[in-house]
Structure 1
Amino acid sequence: MKKIWIYVGVILIITIILPTILVKTSKFISLENKIKIKDIKKEEKEVKKEEFDGYIKVYDTRTQEVVKLSLEDYVKGVVAAEMPGEFHIEALKAQAVASRTYALHKMNKFNEGHPDHPQAPLCTGVHCQAFLSIKELEEAHSKKWVNKYWPKIEEAVEDTAGEVIYYGKEIAEPLYHSTSGGMTEDVRDVFSNDSPYLKSVSSPYEEGAPKFKDISTFKVDEFLSKLKKKYPGVNITKENLPEKVKLVERSESGRIKKVMIDGQVVSGSEIREIFNLNSTNFKIIYNPKTEMVDIETIGYGHGVGMSQWGANGMGKKGKKYKDILKHYYTGVEIKKYKKE
């Protein structure tokens, strides 16, 4: 009989008491509750995400303060700083859309602040996009210049208000530069990353650009000194210069990708930086009789995206700003910005 009661007790423990303890002590969550918790977390995350209210934060590199500007007022200051006010109205409109798109792209990418200026996603320097207030424009040009060109800049921005460049569903990063020299550059050959809309395209009508072609002249000793300062191990003299500096590779647009300096392969961008050249589309000419080195350059800037002087030329030829943008940015659409 005693054995029977022991047996009954064990059964009770297994079937009733133990499950009760497990239910009370476990952290078991039903599938339904899991879904509810996920929804709550999702809602909390959405609440924390700051919605775009038409204003952006910009780090002023001159005062080292963060200012809050309406996007459209910011774009006006960028267009005035980045493109000559004398340019065709369609070119200014193209610049307005490109600058607005660039700002929104950076704002989305660096919502918590740019690594180089954590206080804000954008700055007023050329590191992002140059920006000048009306007061700064008067100081840089004159009050007469502002009275003449500011209304035109306002017109360009206001006529394109809210318009942004999209590639598919994504806001594009529309890089731009002053003068391409007849052909823009594929982004892969400059910044080592690929983008389907930043491809090399023709850029006609740039001949009037002041830096379409340029020549930088150096005494051979100065030229060699600059090279040796950057590359201390090279053995280059006046006598062996033509054999020691050789072209290795050009891009499809004609820009120099690689140069060999006494057996050492370096990038065209490094040579541009050493000699402060207008672009990487250059040619080095040494005259041993005069002991002078001429570096001829074509174009001004990195060459990726929209050529501003090309846009001005297209505007003069009757092209509208959307035509200009779609020419320089392959496969894009221009649409009103939608809050994400």
Structure 2
Amino acid sequence: MKNPLLILAGVVVCSISIPILISVVSYDDINVSTQVKEIKEVATKTPVVNTKKEKEKEVINYETIDKKTPTINVYNHKLGKIQAMNMEEYLYGVLAGEMSSEFDIEALKAQALAARTYVKYKENQGPNSKHRNALVCTDFRHCQEYKSPEELEKKNGKAWMENSYKKIKQAVNETKGQIITYKGKPILTLYFSTSSGKTENSEEVFSSAYPYLKSVDSPYDKSAPKYISALELSNSDFVNLFKKSYGNIKIDAGNLSNQVKIKKRSEGGAVESIKIGNKEIKGTDVRSILNLNSANFDMKFENNSVKINVKGYGHGVGMSQWGAQGMAEEGYKYYEILSHYYTGTNITDIY
């Protein structure tokens, strides 16, 4: 028989050890469960980075100044007289003339800043004799298109004025006094309808280089109605058009493919120079002679005809309006659109 004292000691040790062991195991289980729970909570609280369209973006407010809107002198070429206009009310007419009211509000705001900045740029250039020393004129061939409320109602009707015109005014009002600047000065805000996929460097189209008018990608223009256009001419018509413009050009209707060669293209894809007969001609001049939508074109010679395929619509420098519309549809704000098309610029609120 075993020693009774040893048995008693064993019982005492077990009675003390087992509760302690159970407590330790339970404590570890509790700690593990708590840690797992905490990890799950942290994971749930960690934000997920979404795509541009999905994430909530911070909206930048450029309205920092609230001064009285200035009055400017505008030469109305249709009426043949100078008119004093409230700057913002003048911009209603410009925006209505330069961009469709069907466009997204952010594209319209971008256009409003481009139009307002153009006026301030002209102001810095001084009086212009072409519009009787008024700051700007209403002729789009020289300044910006402008349509009075009376013209707009006559053309579009009262329903348009009550609905679409309100959207035009909203775009102007919500950007009151804001202009685009480069190193503190208003920029030359060139803009056009439709790019060919890239905009142009200013010096490759207008000879003058501006640091903010650089070639940039413009991938959202493909839905524009004039993104692609085409022209077909007979060989004789093609030759006659160039002979009319250049009296000493040597070219004939036979075998044109050997007499016409594109020599150089711009960074944006437009034809810079083309050899036609014995003449090297600018792509912009060819655009004018043939009445093409842009200088980004290709020529194909088939039998007795010339087929010309054209990309884009307009000079291609600055902001593409259809590109701005595409960016707005993708969720970009007006200031992001302007920053994209006008390199290195800022937005400044002047009144």
TM-score class normalised by the smaller sequence: 0.7 to 0.9
- What is the match of residue 324 of structure 1? 337
2:25 matched residue in structure 1:
none
- Map residues 137-156 of structure 1 onto 2, 5 A cutoff: 137-156=152-171
Q: Which runs of 4+ in 1 moved over 3 A?
A: none
| Partner Cα separation in structure 2 for residue 57 and residue 132 of structure 1 | 15
Counterpart for residue 274 of structure 2: 259
Counterpart contact for 2:73–2:84, Cα < 8 Å:
yes
Aligned-partner residue type, residue 319 of structure 1:
Y
Aligned residues: CA RMSD: 1.4
Does the aligned pair in 2 maintain the 1:66–1:119 contact within 8 Å?
no
> Which of 97, 115, 130 is equivalent to 1:116?
130
Report the residue type matching 1:293 in the other structure: V
CA distance in 2, matches of 1:225, 1:147: 50
Matched, 1:287 2:306: no
**Map of 1:168 onto structure 2:** 183
Whether the aligned pair in 1 keeps the contact of 2:327 and 2:337 (CA below 8 Å) is yes
CA deviation profile, 1:271-315 (whole Å, cap 9, x unmatched)? 000011100001112211xx2222111000000000000000100
CA drift of 1:251 comes to 0.4
Once residues 122 and 104 of structure 1 are traced to their aligned partners in structure 2, the CA distance between those partners, rounded to angstroms, is 10
- Counterparts in 2 of 1:25-40, with a 5 A limit? none
Hey, what's the Cα distance between the residues in 2 that align with 1:267 and 1:116?
A: 27
User: Given that residues 315 and 321 in structure 1 are in contact (C-alpha distance below 8 angstroms), is that contact kept between their aligned partners in structure 2?
Assistant: yes
Deviation track 1:163-191 (CA, whole Å, cap 9, x = no partner) reads 01010121111110000121000001011
Match of 1:334 in 2: 347
The Cα of 1:250 is off from its aligned counterpart by: 0.3
- Counterpart Cα distance in 1 of 2:255 and 2:111: 47
Give 1:47's aligned residue.
none
CA contact (8 A) 2:287 2:294 kept: yes
- Where does residue 315 of structure 2 map in the other structure? 302
Distance in 2 (CA, whole Å) between partners of 1:119 and 1:192 is 26
Letter in 1 for 2:160: W
Q: Deviation digits for residues 72-109 of structure 1, max 9, x if unmatched?
A: 01111111100010000000000001100001111221
Q: Which amino acid aligns with 1:301?
A: G
Give the whole-Å Cα distance in 2 for the aligned partners of 1:144 and 1:286: 49
Measured after TM superposition, the shift of residue 221 of structure 1 is 1.7
Match of 2:248 among 233, 236, 245: 233
Report if aligned partners of 1:106, 1:121 keep a CA contact under 8 Å in 2: yes
For the residue of structure 1 that corresponds to 2:217, the secondary structure is coil
Instruction: Find the partner of 1:179 among 191, 194, 199.
Output: 194
- Name the structure 2 match of 1:76: 92
Q: Which residue of 2 aligns with 1:86?
A: 102
Distance 2:155 2:196 in 1: 27
TM-score computed with the length of structure 2 as normaliser = 0.78
Which of 1 and 2 has greater Rg?
A: 2
Contact conserved, 2:202 with 2:317, CA < 8 A, in 1? yes
Give the fraction of aligned pairs with identical amino acids, expressed as a percent: 43
Gaps of 5+ in 1: 1-51
Task: Provide the rounded CA distance (Å) in 2 between the counterparts of 1:240 and 1:130.
Answer: 43
Q: C-alpha distance in 1, partners of 2:154/2:271?
A: 38
* CA drift at 1:259: 0.8
Matched to 1:240, the amino acid is N
The answer to whether the aligner puts 1:216 opposite 2:209 as a matched pair is no
Cα offset for 1:53? Answer: 6.8
Question: Paired residue for 2:288, among 268, 273, 284?
Answer: 273
CA spacing shift, 1:202–1:69, aligned 2, 3 Å? same
Q: Name stretches of at least 5 consecutive residues in structure 2 with no aligned partner.
A: 1-67
- Is the 2:195–2:218 Cα contact (8 Å) retained in structure 1? yes
Instruction: Choose from 211, 214, 232 the match for 1:196.
Output: 211
- The one-letter code sitting in structure 1 at the alignment partner of 2:332 is K
